[in-house]
Amino acid sequence: MQELEQWPTGRLLTTAARLVDHAWNAGLSDLGLTHAGYTALRVLKDHGPINQTKLAQLIRVQNQTMGKTIEKLQVNGYVNRVRGEVDQRIQLVSVTDPGRSALASALKIEQTLIAGGGLLSDTLRAELRNLIEELGAGRNGGAQTAG
């Protein structure tokens, strides 16, 4: 589409991100997952039981947004929340066995979706990481991204 050549980079980036998100959500819907839920499960699997605030920082979303994602995951039985042993006010979120199973299925869906779309390009991934690090510096406590 020649029209795309006229689009500013920001519009290209946000449109591409939205289309990728829609494709993932369509593929994940049978599992009762969204792309946000899938991302949260991946981070929880890698970082073990952590609190909602830390999870939000790692994914670079607002704490309130993460709370909604965790609620949906909990309704589907994919995560547990337990009170911290040291500080009872803190709830630690962890992946359940059904969550691990859903994550394994979701990983297969992800590989199918991105295999032919150039999303595995090392150059694209490096540029996106650089952009996230540059624009994300100082936001959300400088947390690392997941995904």
Q: Is the pTM of this model over 0.75?
A: no
Residues contacting 48, CB < 8 A, separation 6+: 94
Q: Quick check: 93 pLDDT over 80?
A: yes
Class of domain 16-142 as given by CATH: mainly alpha
Task: Say which residue, 85 or 34, is predicted with more confidence.
Answer: 34
The rounded mean pLDDT for the chain is: 85
Q: What pLDDT is attached to residue 1? A: 63
pLDDT higher than 60, residue 145: no
pLDDT tens digits, residue range 11-35?
988 988 888 888 888 889 999 999 8
In residues, how long is the chain?
147
**Picking from 1-15, 32-46, 48-62, 117-131, which range would have the lowest pLDDT averaged per residue?**
117-131
Cα distances (angstroms) measured from residue 81 to each of 44, 140, 142: 12, 22, 25
Residue 138 is predicted with a pLDDT of 64
pLDDT in tens, 102-139: 999 998 887 777 765 656 677 777 888 888 888 877 66
Q: Which residue has the tokens 């779309």?
A: 117
DSSP conformation letters of 71-83: HHHHHTTSEEEEE
Domain boundaries, the chain: 16-142
Label residue 32 left, alpha or beta by phi (over 0 means left) and psi (-120 to 50 means alpha): left
DSSP H or E segment with residue 92: strand 91-95
